C-alpha cells in the first residue's frame, strides 16, 4: 500500500474513533434502573428458579438525596411528579390488574405521583415515553389511588421502587429520603 494512502487510512480510522466517542453520553447523575415483580425475575428465570409469574416491572431513574431536603422543597407538595428523575417512570403490567377498583389491562403505562405531607396520589397514565411531567395530560389518566405515607427512621439515599407479593396481592413500595409510600394492587390470573 502506498505510504500516503496508509497515513490517510490511519488518520481516518483515528478521527472516526474520536468522533464516535463524542456520541457516547456521559454517566447520568440519576441512573436508570428496573424493578421487577417478582423481585430478581430475570435472574430467577435464568437459573430456572421461578415460582411466580411475571406480574410487573417499573423502569425509573434513581436520583440521590445528596443532603437535600426532598419533599416540599425539591419535590413540591400538591404538584404532579414523575416519580424519580429524567424520563417519567413507567410501569408495565404483564397481567391485568385491579388498581383502586379500576381494571387496568396488561400493558405499559406512566406512573406519576402527587405528593402531600401525609399522603400521595398515585396516577397511572396511558401516555408513555415522556420526559418529566412535560407530557402529562390528566385526560389520559387511567386510575388514581391515594396512599398514606410512612416516615422512615433512616433516610433512603437513592429513590427506590421494590415489590412485595402476597398471593395475588402486590405492594409496590416507593422510598426516598425519609418517606415511604406503599401502593397496593391485585393481579388477575389471566394468561
pLDDT tens sequence across 24-69: 877 778 889 999 999 989 898 889 888 888 999 999 999 999 999 9
* Beta carbons of 57 and 148 less than 8 angstroms apart: no
Taking alpha carbons only, the member of 191, 84, 99 closest to residue 146 is 99
Q: For 166, phi and psi rounded to 5 degrees?
A: -140, 95
CA dist., res. 128 & res. 136, Å (int): 9
pLDDT over 70, % of the chain: 87
Is residue 140 very low, low, confident or very high in pLDDT (cuts 50, 70, 90)? Answer: very high
Q: Helix, strand, coil proportions of the chain in percent (round to 5)? A: 15, 45, 40
Residue 151: band (very low, low, confident or very high) from pLDDT cuts 50, 70, 90: very high
Amino acid at each position: 500500500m502506498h505510504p500516503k494512502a496508509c497515513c490517510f487510512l490511519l488518520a481516518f480510522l483515528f478521527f472516526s474513533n474520536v468522533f464516535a466517542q463524542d456520541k457516547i453520553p456521559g454517566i447520568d447523575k440519576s441512573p436508570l434502573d428496573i424493578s421487577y415483580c417478582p423481585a430478581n425475575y430475570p435472574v430467577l428465570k435464568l437459573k430456572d428458579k421461578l415460582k411466580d409469574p411475571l406480574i410487573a416491572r417499573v423502569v425509573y431513574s434513581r436520583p440521590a438525596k445528596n443532603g437535600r431536603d426532598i419533599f416540599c422543597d425539591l419535590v413540591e407538595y400538591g404538584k404532579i411528579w414523575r416519580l424519580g428523575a429524567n424520563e417519567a417512570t413507567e410501569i408495565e403490567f404483564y397481567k391485568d390488574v385491579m388498581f383502586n377498583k379500576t381494571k387496568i389491562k396488561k400493558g405499559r403505562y406512566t406512573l406519576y405521583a402527587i405528593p402531600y405531607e401525609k399522603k400521595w396520589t398515585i396516577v397511572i397514565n396511558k401516555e408513555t415515553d415522556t420526559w418529566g411531567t412535560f407530557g402529562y395530560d390528566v385526560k389520559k389518566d387511567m386510575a388514581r389511588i391515594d396512599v398514606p405515607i410512612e416516615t422512615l427512621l433512616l433516610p433512603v439515599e437513592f429513590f427506590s421502587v421494590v415489590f412485595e407479593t402476597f398471593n395475588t396481592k402486590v405492594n409496590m413500595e416507593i422510598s426516598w429520603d425519609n418517606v415511604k409510600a406503599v401502593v397496593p394492587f391485585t393481579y388477575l390470573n389471566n394468561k
